[in-house]
A and B are shown apart, each in its own frame.
Chain A
Amino acid sequence: EPEVTQTPSHQVTQMGQEVILRCVPISNHLYFYWYRQILGQKVEFLVSFYNNEISEKSEIFDDQFSVERPDGSNFTLKIRSTKLEDSAMYFCASSEFPRLAGGEQYFGPGTRLTVT
């Protein structure tokens, strides 16, 4: 069964450093998402992406964050200058259909980001 993959599974970085989290969505999916989950807290939406542009972003997704689809398979989340509070599990998700059509979002296994 096709699945969303994410690399790395765990990333440790120092405060102020840039990190890039990578995702490979399911191949025939057109809608891509990033979520984060701080330990013990709820899953929070960051950004959605369709047709090579951001469709929607939350208040969390400030100027320190950016997303890119550099080629036909990868979808990346970049944090320019990490802060301690960016420590969280970051989930990538993809769907074949838009949410308005009940598109089920498939989640990747997550990247655990630890900022020290």
Chain B
Amino acid sequence: SAVISQKPSRDICQRGTSLTIQCQVDSQVTMMFWYRQQPGQSLTLIATANQGSEATYESGFVIDKFPISRPNLTFSTLTVSNMSPEDSSIYLCSVVRYEGAFFGQGTRLTVV
């Protein structure tokens, strides 16, 4: 398994502002994944964060909107930039082990 600490657990933000979400893993991993979970929707992969290289973004997600940092093998941040109410969602970081994918507790973001 994996222990993943994610913060903040929730936040309410004004539109037009940015929020940075932090994810700390208890052991070194090559790839960290960022997901979005909107109400009634499945988890949608935003991007894959590799240490030492640019993150790889999925279709519909761009670096200007969701910049990601990966300064070392145990830590990553996701920033939600220039937020609008449509960004209200749960954001999750994840790592993969042999026995499956493991998730942080999630960040519940509300944009007003």
Q: Do A and B come from one complex?
A: no
A-side residues, CB < 8 A to B, are none
